[in-house]
Structure formats: C-alpha cells, structure tokens
C-alpha cells in the first residue's frame, strides 16, 4: 500500500491535459514502485523524472515490461505514449551543446508522452552562430521553441530575437566557475532584452515541456467574431 503521506493526482490528465509526473530523485525505489502501481491500477499513464540507473533497474525488475527506462532523459514511464495527431513537429527543442542533452531529453520525452510531435536540434550554441542560422527556416515551421543552454545562457535570447514564435528558455547547470550551477544562465535569461522570452527554473526540462503544452492547448481565436 502506498505511503499515507503521498496523495496522487490521478485526475491530472482529465483536468489539465497533463500526465502526472513524479519527482524521482528524492524518492526511494520502493516509493516509486508503490506510486507506479497505484497509477497502473487506475489505468493511468505516469512519468517519473530524475531517476538514476540503480533505481530504474529495481523498478524494472519489480514491475516488468509496463515500465520503460529512458536513460538519456533519466526518466521512467508507465504505459504507452499518446499518439501524435500530426506528422509535423509542433515543438522544436534546441540545445546549446551536448552537455545540455539530459535536460533537453527530459523535455523531449515529456512532450512525446503527451502526443506532441517534437524535433530536436543539438549543439547549436551561439559560440558559432551559423550553426543556428542555417536552421531558421525549419524553426519557423514550429509552434513553440524550447532552448536549453548553460554557460551564460544566451541561446534563448538570440533565438527569440530571430523568430516570432514563443521561446521557452531552460538554463542548464553547465559551465565553469561563475556559471554557479546554472544560476548565471538563469539570471542572464531573466535579464534578457528580448521581449516575451519565457524562462523556467534551472535544469527544468519537464517544466519547459509543460509550458509548451499549455501554449499548444490554447483555443484558436475565431476571427469571424463567433465563439
């Protein structure tokens, strides 16, 4: 039986259109198993973030093939993802460098789990701007962009100055000295001179994905004046 201190949000998907996500880093492997068993009993999907390999192996050996471990994203999933409604990518996720991939992969998986078609552009940081500029035409076809960057975190600012799409910046805890575990990237994005740039917390790939999902779920305005 699940710990009495844990209260699961079984109805989150029907209420918000979001699959319940469980923070796995500070939970024991036994707690994760108990939580996933409850979601399985309810016929619900689930996503567990920040899970190391040792915990994942225990959950997989205990619950079997209904669970998948996504090592690149460091996440566990229960069930099968919602199938995308379109073959065209609605969200494109960009990473400044390969060191940003775990956070970017978390965002990618979270969106795919909600049936959102995603494309991924890796290693397009501003240290060599042409790497980014050559993809501008492709980027403009998406509906939302998520840009993950460490160091000084300039990729989202540059990106949001080039395209009119919503851009969500994800500061990543990568960089030397004064990068301070992603704090410099976070403050740089928050202080961006590019108007309308949205920023989530350090390493919060899941949060960026859910912000993008909310944008995509906004009802289209009927320009005819009808509701």
The pLDDT assigned to 225 comes to: 45
156 and 51 housed in the same domain = no
- Cα(197)–Cα(22) distance, rounded to whole angstroms? 27
The secondary element (H helix, E strand) that includes residue 189 is helix 183-190
Place of tokens 């035409």: 137
Residue 5 pLDDT greater than 60, yes or no: no
In a domain, residue 183? The reply is yes
DSSP, collapsed to helix, strand or coil, labels residue 170 as strand
Residue 227 pLDDT greater than 70, yes or no: no
- Cα(91)–Cα(84) distance, rounded to whole angstroms? 12
Query: Which residue among 78, 102, 134 closes a domain?
Result: 78
110 and 210 housed in the same domain = yes
In a domain, residue 201? The reply is yes
Segments forming the whole domain that contains residue 31: 12-78
Tell me the pLDDT tens digit for each residue of 109-139: 999 999 999 999 999 988 888 999 999 999 9
55 and 144 housed in the same domain = no
The secondary element (H helix, E strand) that includes residue 17 is none
Residue 222 pLDDT greater than 50, yes or no: no
The pLDDT assigned to 224 comes to: 40
161 and 140 housed in the same domain = yes
Residue 4 pLDDT greater than 60, yes or no: no
The pLDDT assigned to 10 comes to: 74
Domain count, the chain: 2
Q: What is the pTM of this model?
A: 0.88
CATH of the domain at 184: 3.40.50.1970
Please state the separation of Cα 33 from the chain's center in Å: 23
101 and 186 housed in the same domain = yes
DSSP, collapsed to helix, strand or coil, labels residue 145 as strand
Tell me the pLDDT tens digit for each residue of 37-89: 988 988 888 899 999 999 999 999 999 899 999 999 999 999 888 888 887 88
Residue 17 pLDDT level (bands cut at 50, 70, 90): confident
Mean pLDDT of the chain: 89
57 and 157 housed in the same domain = no
The pLDDT assigned to 84 comes to: 86
In a domain, residue 6? The reply is no
Q: What is Dmax (Cα atoms) for the chain?
A: 56
How does strand 167-171 pair with strand 144-149? parallel
């Amino acid at each position: 039986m699940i710990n009495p201190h844990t209260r699961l949000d079984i109805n989150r998907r029907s209420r918000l259109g979001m699959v319940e996500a469980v923070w796995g880093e500070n939970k024991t492997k036994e707690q994760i198993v108990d939580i996933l068993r409850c979601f399985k009993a309810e016929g619900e999907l689930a996503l567990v973030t920040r899970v190391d390999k040792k915990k994942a192996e225990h959950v997989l050996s205990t619950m079997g093939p209904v669970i998948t471990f996504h090592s690149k994203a460091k996440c566990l999933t229960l069930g099968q993802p919602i199938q995308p409604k379109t073959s065209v990518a609605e969200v494109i996720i960009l990473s400044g460098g390969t060191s940003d991939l775990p956070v970017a992969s978390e965002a990618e998986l979270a969106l795919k789990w909600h049936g959102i078609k995603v494309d991924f552009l890796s290693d397009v940081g501003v240290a060599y701007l042409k790497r980014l500029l050559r993809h501008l035409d492709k980027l403009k076809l998406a509906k939302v962009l998520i840009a993950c960057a460490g160091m000084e975190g300039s990729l989202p600012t540059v990106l949001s100055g080039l395209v009119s799409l919503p851009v969500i910046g994800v500061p990543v805890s990568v960089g030397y000295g004064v990068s301070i575990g992603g704090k410099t990237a976070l403050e740089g994005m928050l202080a961006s001179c590019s108007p309308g740039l949205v920023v989530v917390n350090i390493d919060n790939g899941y949060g960026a994905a859910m912000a993008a999902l909310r944008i995509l779920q906004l009802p289209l305005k009927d320009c005819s004046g009808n509701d």
